[in-house]
Structure 1
Amino acid sequence: MTARDARLHAFRSDLADARLKGEVSADRFVTGRPARITASVADIRKAPRPDAGVNTQVLFGDDVLVFEEAEGWAWVQAERDGYVGYVGATMLGAREHAPTHIVAAPRTFLYPGPDLRFPISGQLSMGSTVTVTGAAETRGTHYALLPSGEALIAGHVRPLGDVAADYVAVAEQFLGTPYLWGGTSGFGIDCSGLVQLAMRMAGRNVLRDSDMQAAGLGEPLDPGPDYAGLKRGDLVFWKGHVAIMTDAETMIHANGHTMLVSREGLKDAVDRIGYLYGGPTGFRRP
């Protein structure tokens, strides 16, 4: 049988996605149950334990397929990027309303009603999808209303399908955001999460991890001596890391050096990173 990446295909020795029958070995095959993430951000973990490592995250409104639910944990696959892992079962709900809008600000607040003076009832990251059912105005501030009765600032969301023209400009909105291993949100993000979220807002869904992006995102690029052939939007890869060029000489990346999303000169980064991890492993143009 063909080897499958367990990050992107739901299979274990005892249980597997019914779509993989005949392709993987498992004691039992099941059809995934549709569900939707209802938490602001939900960690997808390597194992069904609170101390298990976080591989990635899914956001409010993301759709998943549930293959198993037991002892407070659900084994799921995110429909947007195919990532498989375990989330807390309390973070799942039904797909009751079709999403209409996406959060376009790096972070925003939910209010119990259309008034910014109310104590907040939650917070959402860029990339979260919501169902807007109405509008309201209070003291000149415009709000989008949700089926729950909650409200958020109308200027912080835009209709699905209304995409950004420049994914690099989206990434630049996250400057100063804390670095978080496995993070995919405006509350904390890692290097490949930054690429994925910024590109999503520009209308392009891409795979999650840096090795997946290095293998198939856009076209390979030879930048030539001193990297002179690079331009804004090109991607630079190291082993386990990716950065986005903002111009021919400067890049932006979520990194463990500053523990922030930061700008850095490419040549400075090559020297700094090379000391411990070697030089760039590849360049791609999305």
Structure 2
Amino acid sequence: MSALDRRLNAFRPDLADERLSGQVEARNFAAGRPARVAVPVLGVLDAPRPDAGLDTQLLAGDTVRVFDEAEGFSWVQAERDGYVGYVSGAGLAPVGDAPTHVVVAPRTFTYREPNMKKGATGALSMGSHVRIVGSASARGTDYALLESGEALIAAHLRPAGEVSGDYVAVAEMLEHTPYLWGGASAFGIDCSGLVQLSMRMTGQGVRRDTDMQAATVGTALGDDPAGLRRGDLVFWKGHVAIMADDETIIHANGHTMMVSREKLAPAIERIAYLYGPPTGFRRA
């Protein structure tokens, strides 16, 4: 059996990514085809069933490589972080022209026209990418126009190439976001999803799951929490928190069921009965 991580490598007994030829055994290999996420949030499941477990989420504008399609599900690998899983095929569309802007507000509405009083048609999460084709103003509010004719609040967007300077400040914007296992959007998020989305907004691409982040993000620190500072990461078995200052963490957690702050010392004591002490600290 291959030692490759199935979360980051697309291979099954019947089919595998052609880039893995010689590394895994499969009856067939395929290059896959590119596609783009065409819905606000697209769940990545661990099996091609509606009741399967949620591993992570993709956001509008994300690109994937599709290796297989059957019974309404597509087996894909995300281009952004390499995650492999099953998504609803209805949530994908041809790649088309590249997005021009990214959503920087925690959440923003799409309106049927550039007039907030005409009603919203949907909502997008921070980190979503969109293609803007025009602009308009109404009653002192500037709007950005989508190819569909729908409108977004222009102040909630920035050009796709621009990034934030402080990933902790991004995480702080997401405080009180509901906790969701496997969540990676501002509608619902888990601990490693918070780290990934916050760092994504500053141009830092990091892996999705806690164990991946504990092995790859930044540099390892010593085992003394007394030396921690803003932006450092605290890892437990299956959990991660961000240092907001030298004694306070911000994290998506199942204790409060939201993104929240608490002092590190009592958090270590509280978490110990489930996860034990911290397993490591890293400077991002």
Aligning the two structures, in what range does the TM-score lie when normalised by the shorter sequence? over 0.9
Q: Whole-Å Cα distance in 2 between the matches of residues 173 and 93 of structure 1?
A: 30
Aligned length: 284
Q: Whole-Å Cα distance in 1 between the matches of residues 67 and 121 of structure 2?
A: 30
Aligned 8 A contact 1:66 1:76 in 2? yes
SS in 1 for 2:39: coil
SS in 2 for 1:148: coil
Aligned 8 A contact 1:221 1:282 in 2? yes
Q: Whole-Å Cα distance in 1 between the matches of residues 270 and 149 of structure 2?
A: 50
Q: Whole-Å Cα distance in 2 between the matches of residues 184 and 277 of structure 1?
A: 22
Deviation at residue 119 of structure 1 after TM alignment: 1.9
Q: Whole-Å Cα distance in 1 between the matches of residues 25 and 279 of structure 2?
A: 34
Q: Please report the TM-score for the alignment, with normalisation by the length of structure 2.
A: 0.99
The superposition leaves residues 87-130 of structure 1 with CA deviations (integer Å, 9 ceiling, x where unpaired) of 00100001112111100000000111111012211110000000
SS in 1 for 2:249: strand
Identify the residue that residue 162 of structure 1 maps to in structure 2: 162
Deviation at residue 216 of structure 1 after TM alignment: 1.0
Identify the residue that residue 5 of structure 1 maps to in structure 2: 5
Q: Whole-Å Cα distance in 2 between the matches of residues 205 and 196 of structure 1?
A: 7
Structure 1 ranges of 4+ moved more than 6 A: none
Identify the residue that residue 174 of structure 1 maps to in structure 2: 174
Identify the residue that residue 98 of structure 1 maps to in structure 2: 98
SS in 1 for 2:162: coil
2:227 paired with 1:229: yes
Which residue, out of 247, 251, 272, partners 2:270? 272
Identify the residue that residue 125 of structure 1 maps to in structure 2: 125
Deviation at residue 82 of structure 1 after TM alignment: 0.4
Deviation at residue 276 of structure 1 after TM alignment: 2.2
The superposition leaves residues 51-72 of structure 1 with CA deviations (integer Å, 9 ceiling, x where unpaired) of 1000000001100010001100
Q: Please report the TM-score for the alignment, with normalisation by the length of structure 1.
A: 0.98
Deviation at residue 2 of structure 1 after TM alignment: 5.5
Identify the residue that residue 256 of structure 1 maps to in structure 2: 254
Q: Whole-Å Cα distance in 2 between the matches of residues 178 and 159 of structure 1?
A: 28
Deviation at residue 230 of structure 1 after TM alignment: 0.3
SS in 2 for 1:133: strand
Deviation at residue 80 of structure 1 after TM alignment: 0.2
1:176-191 aligned within 5 A: 176-191=176-191
Identity %: 64
The superposition leaves residues 121-144 of structure 1 with CA deviations (integer Å, 9 ceiling, x where unpaired) of 111000000011111001111001
Aligned 8 A contact 2:223 2:280 in 1? no
Q: Whole-Å Cα distance in 1 between the matches of residues 28 and 223 of structure 2?
A: 49
Deviation at residue 271 of structure 1 after TM alignment: 0.3
